[in-house]
Structure 1
Amino acid sequence: METNNKLKILKSGTTTVGIKVKDGVVLAADRRASAGMYVAHKYVRKVLYIAPNIGITTAGSVADLQFIYDLLKNIYHYNLITGMRPITIKSLATYLANMLSFSKYLPYIVQILLGGVDEQPRLYNLDYVGDITEEDYTATGSGSVEAIGIIEDEYRPDMTLDEAADLARRAIFSSIKRDPYTGTGVIVSKITKSGHEEKEYYPQRKI
């Protein structure tokens, strides 16, 4: 029963998207926070930055996500201030996967996309038991079925970063139309080796 309740928490509440192309990585997420059928907050930030060139999307328990986000930032900046070379995105993803796997019997209730650009664009999908996959594109959360259908139909490896950002925006808008836990608007972030640029979008109401 306890495991089933935890899975229900993971399935509810958001839609996040990650797309990797040759010029960088796009991370996107809706802005609605839900508690069951209740809209707990309309303007939650679900795209966060560990460094200017590394970001994550968040889904799951807010407290667990805050702890993991702070931990990843501390690890990244510790390497910088101690004179080591910046930790790679792959190393951050591996560290997080090991931590989640170690605690899987008392899990952090999270679903995380970790992406950015160091030597090359990277995009990783991690779940609460430590499963890790490197992806060209993916979607998580309660609206992922609607979002992934749009992405599957239109993704190309040779897309520009702007084309990928537009695809991510439209994928989450499709979830907003059909998934009650996804809503308000979309944050879309384009991440390159030199940093990130993000925009917010809100659906136009049809009369």
Structure 2
Amino acid sequence: MDTDPKDIKTGTTTVGLKTADAIVLAADMRASMGNIAYEEESEKIYKITENMAATNAGNVGDSLTIIRFLRSQVNLYEFERGEKMTIKAAATLLSNVLNATRYYPFIVQLILGGMNNKPELFEVTPFGGVLERKRYAVSGSGTDFALSTLDQNYMEGMTEEEGIKLAIKAIEAGKKRDIYSGGVSVSVVVIDRAGVKEISQEIVKKHVQELKKERVAPAKTKV
């Protein structure tokens, strides 16, 4: 039986955060249909250009439509003008489109990150609100759990590796407590001056194992 992508939702935990020289985006991998865990290896981070990527929480069909639109407009802008669209301009473009369709909205909540001269991070809401985030952004049903982790552990000027580990920790917090977040692993993408790069699952799983060890307190022996 075929399933309409409009019925599939990424109930989700997604995170974007700034490090000293990069943007780190991370997401869980579960897609749900109602109360059913429909897919455990769903991709929720989308490369837009060589210096820009986005995460989404919401309806899969709507997400793909908006991402395709953004890619086409950003590429057209670059072709016509001979220069890259800024991250802020891309966020504003999304904001205008989503606000114009607010009476029949796209069910999407996007975190848009990238590099121009510096790391930039924006959150775009379903009705077109756009917020520039100075440190980090979170979206999806696991927001409360991920946000708590970031509030407690985020530091200005983090290294890329520290940012990756913290983003994974925040997603794992969402996966542990939110029934609509889950999946076989965590997706992580880094955007730095070299461009958009996906972090290998080998590295991700290594960080996950380290986090599990940190949570296990050493047993105390009574004498």
Tell me whether 1:84 sits opposite 2:108 in the alignment. Answer: no
Distance 1:37 1:78 in 2: 40
Residue identity in the other structure for 1:147: A
Structure 1 residue aligned with 2:194: 194
Distance 2:102 2:51 in 1: 29
Give how far 1:79 is off: 2.1
Does structure 2 retain, via aligned residues, the 8 Å contact 1:61–1:110? yes
The superposition leaves residues 20-64 of structure 1 with CA deviations (integer Å, 9 ceiling, x where unpaired) of 122010000000001121011111100110012100001111111
Distance 2:157 2:117 in 1: 18
Distance 2:83 2:190 in 1: 24
Residue identity in the other structure for 2:39: H
Tell me whether 1:71 sits opposite 2:69 in the alignment. Answer: yes
Structure 2 residue aligned with 1:109: 107
Secondary structure (helix, strand or coil) at the match of 1:149 reads helix
Residue identity in the other structure for 2:170: A
The superposition leaves residues 184-203 of structure 1 with CA deviations (integer Å, 9 ceiling, x where unpaired) of 21011111122122223356
Distance 1:141 1:158 in 2: 26
Q: Percent identity?
A: 37
Tell me whether 1:45 sits opposite 2:63 in the alignment. Answer: no
Tell me whether 1:150 sits opposite 2:142 in the alignment. Answer: no
Residue identity in the other structure for 2:69: L
Distance 2:142 2:78 in 1: 37
The superposition leaves residues 137-177 of structure 1 with CA deviations (integer Å, 9 ceiling, x where unpaired) of 02111111111111110111111111111100011111111
List alignment gaps of at least 5 residues for structure 1. 1-8
Give how far 1:91 is off: 0.4
- Number of aligned residues: 197
Residue identity in the other structure for 1:198: E
Give how far 1:178 is off: 1.0
Greater radius of gyration (CA): 2
Secondary structure (helix, strand or coil) at the match of 1:82 reads helix
Does structure 2 retain, via aligned residues, the 8 Å contact 1:14–1:59? yes
Does structure 2 retain, via aligned residues, the 8 Å contact 1:34–1:40? yes
Task: Compute the RMSD of aligned alpha carbons.
Answer: 1.9
Distance 1:26 1:38 in 2: 29
List alignment gaps of at least 5 residues for structure 2. 1-7, 214-223
Give how far 1:81 is off: 2.4
Distance 2:138 2:80 in 1: 36
Moved over 6 A (4+): none
Distance 1:49 1:64 in 2: 16
Give how far 1:80 is off: 2.5
Give how far 1:67 is off: 1.0
Q: Per residue, is there more strand in 1 or in 2? A: 1
Distance 2:78 2:137 in 1: 30
Distance 1:106 1:196 in 2: 33
Distance 1:41 1:115 in 2: 25
Secondary structure (helix, strand or coil) at the match of 1:189 reads strand
TM-score (norm 2): 0.83
Tell me whether 1:182 sits opposite 2:177 in the alignment. Answer: no
